Amino acid sequence: MFNRLIFRLLCVFLGGLCRAEDFTRLYDLTLEQAEVLALDRNNKVNSLRELYGKAKEGRLEKISKWLPQVEAMSNMYGLGNISPDTGTKSAFLTQLSLTQALIASDLYYNVKIADLVVEQLKLLLNAAMIDALFEVRTAYYQVILDIEMVAAAKEKIELLTSLSQRMEDRKQVGTAILYNVNQSKVAIANATVHYYEMIKRRKVDLDTMASILGFVPGEVEISFAKIAIPLEEIPEIKEKLCQMQEVFNKQTVALNERIFQGGYPDTEEKVMRKLFTKAEVSAWEEKALRYQPNLKVQATEVAIASKEVSKRKGEYLPTVSFNINYGGEPSTVESFLSSRLNNQVMQWGAGLQFNWLLFDGLGRERRIKQARFEKRSREFKYRQAMQDTYADVRRQIFDIEESVANYVTADANVKLAEQTVTLANDELTVGYSTIFDYQISVDGFIQAVNNKNKARFDLIKAYYGLRHATGIDLNTP
């Protein structure tokens, strides 16, 4: 209930993000608001949050073993013969005892291990949170891309419909035949099929996003504050794109000017080789070693295994506890026979209990060796996790490099396609080309725009993938 109240206050603070009654409408959703929702409502995150709470309670339970243990006991005995002392066949025995552990290596190391388990669950929670951030960011911009693709598909249908009408007009005046008209209508039908495919994809991706946000798919309505993928608003991406501007001809002012500088694509490859310097790659790797929670989980596993070794070695030590009793114990019931609960003969007793296992058939030695093997196994797993982290960071950097190159190429293709459409329209106007030639140019332009939008999405996804691989989102330097 408290968490639900906090969530509603957050929604109000964020500008009326949700309708307070049922949270089924998300209006003008921004990425930042989606991130807040995901961290608060995502089921995977909340599952780890509960396990983290369980681990903290488990730690307190281990600590409680060091506190005094107080126990009350009362027994009633039925005797076969009448007791000469009480004159009855019944007897009562009552005891109140307190036990305090003084030396117990297993209790000590159980607390130490519980501390590490709490830290481990906290790291797993952090890992789930950065997973949720990456998933919601990717899903958010995936839906944005879908909306752009639907708009482009709709625009294509409208353009083809317009061209088809022009073809019918030409048929009416005898400059086109039915074959040409049918071709144009087939193109419209194919474009319509693609349009509904894009609508389906948008619906599926919206359901995926709703699930990431912790809602039941189909029971939430989402609208977006801005339909755009803001690459230029991310400083790291903007810097890389600025570096790539070297490949373009900055003097392009007319249709006959070249878009790329001379020497393309060699000039692009030259820029790509220095897009990420060794120092930058090393800096990202260092961030991953410092912040990546999954890597820290493996380090915690090694620490837990080390404590397990120490715990097994502690079996060589004695255990000492302090005991104090008040009641019929430690004497036997025959010595303190009572006919009723309220006439028992009570006394107190106190002392130390000392236990020391001297030999158990070499069982302790075997348990120590098992713990050492387990520790070494986890050390190798940690090394593998470190190698995987390095590889993941480098792979994400390679993805960014590829996405930057693809985006630059797609951006250039859009400019070329714009030129082609302009030229095709001029030629169509003066009669040098056909409507089909113009249709091909328009189709190429729309495809180029779609490719550019897809490249924008791939680039921002690769960037967030790098942040996810390093784990810096919850530990911003």
Q: Distance from CA of residue 354 to its chain's centroid? A: 51
Question: Is position 34 within any domain?
Answer: no
Nearest-angstrom CA–CA distance, 165 and 193: 20
- The residue count of the chain comes to 477
Residue 324, sorted as left (phi over 0), alpha (psi -120 to 50) or beta, turns out to be beta
Structural domain boundaries, residue 238: 104-318+356-474
**Strand 69-78, strand 25-29: pairing:** unpaired
Q: Where are the beta strands (DSSP E) in 55-190?
A: 69-78, 90-103
337 within 8 A of 75, measured Cβ to Cβ: no
336 CB-near residues (< 8 Å, 6+ apart): 93, 328, 344, 345, 346
349 within 8 A of 374, measured Cβ to Cβ: no
Q: Give the position of tokens 């419209």.
A: 188
Question: Is position 48 within any domain?
Answer: no
Question: Is position 347 within any domain?
Answer: no
Half-sphere exposure of 228 (CA within 13 A, CB side): 6
Number of domains in the chain: 1
Q: Give the position of tokens 């995977």.
A: 44
304 CB-near residues (< 8 Å, 6+ apart): 113, 116, 117, 120, 378
Question: Is position 31 within any domain?
Answer: no
Question: Is position 433 within any domain?
Answer: yes
Question: Is position 82 within any domain?
Answer: no
Handedness of CA 452, 454, 458, 460 (dihedral sign): positive
Nearest-angstrom CA–CA distance, 124 and 82: 67
Question: Is position 244 within any domain?
Answer: yes
pTM of the model: 0.83
Among 23, 29, 130, CA closest to 470:
130
Query: Looking at residue 440, which CATH number applies to its domain?
Result: 1.20.1600.10
pLDDT tens, the chain, 477 aa long:
334 444 444 554 444 444 444 557 888 999 999 999 999 999 999 999 999 999 999 999 999 999 999 998 877 777 677 766 666 667 777 888 999 999 999 999 999 999 999 999 999 999 999 999 999 999 999 999 999 999 999 999 998 898 888 888 877 877 777 877 788 888 899 999 999 999 999 999 999 999 999 999 988 999 999 999 999 899 999 888 887 776 665 554 444 556 665 556 666 666 667 788 899 999 999 999 999 999 999 999 999 999 999 999 999 999 999 999 887 654 554 555 555 556 666 778 889 999 999 998 999 999 999 999 999 999 999 999 999 999 999 999 999 998 998 898 898 888 888 888 888 888 877 777 777 888 888 889 999 999 999 999 999 999 999 999 999 998 754
Question: Is position 184 within any domain?
Answer: yes
Count other Cβ atoms within 10 Å, centred on residue 210.
Answer: 19
SS3 assignment, position 96: strand
- In degrees rounded to 5, what are phi and psi of residue 20? -65, -25
